Amino acid sequence: GLLERLAGISTRRGWAEGQTFEDGVVAAAEKAIEQAGIDRSQIGLLINASVTRDNFEPAVSVGVHDRLDLPRHALNFDITNACLGFVNAMTVASTMIDAGAIDYALIVAGEDPSPWHRTAVRILNNPDSTREDVLAQFATLTLGSGAAAAVIGRADRHPEGHRIIGSVSRAGTEHRNLCIGGEADQGMNTDAEGLLRHGLELVAQAWEQAHEDGWEWNDMTSYVT
């Protein structure tokens, strides 16, 4: 179909009937804790980085904290920053670990874009829909449901793990209107071309700054944009 030809997406998955994005988050978190080989009593921080939420308040992290039976001393909160939330959470967590405030952090995220899908279909099925409507809703149709979790701890205790050694960031907040996700009945409107163009400009700026700070890119095995 059109989605596969333009975006290379042949399969888009959703949650099973009766399953919620929070169910997926909890399942991913349980798996991450098990694979990390730690006791949940050692977790001092839980950050939820999901875009999806059922309510404005309380934070999604509150329900996840309760369902995972994490210790009361474990700080928990949400970081919502669109596609960057999980990476932002990793930066915050690693900084707290380096500061000695915590030993382990659990970062989670889960999404259910089905309400936006329904809104996009309604908009596109409107006899008065235009080419601009199709372009604005296209990115919405590429989204799928899923969940992820990561446990981050001290490098000296886990030398076998992947290390977070630093970060470089750039903000192009003047382009904030290129992708706007509203309530379910409003959908998500995206200028995909503009988002890609201006996003790559920021990538280039961050690349140059990192090189000036002494990062050696020639030794990298993967680049993700």
What is this structure's pTM?
Answer: 0.90
Q: How confident is the model at residue 23 (pLDDT cuts 50, 70, 90)?
A: very high
Alpha-carbon span 147 to 114, nearest angstrom:
14
Domains and CATH numbers, the chain: 19-214 (3.40.47.10)
Per-residue pLDDT tens over the stretch 113-169? 999 999 999 999 999 999 999 889 989 989 999 999 999 999 999 888 888 888 888
Residue 125 identity: N
Residue-wise pLDDT tens digits, 158-210? 888 888 888 888 899 999 999 998 888 888 999 999 999 999 999 889 888 88
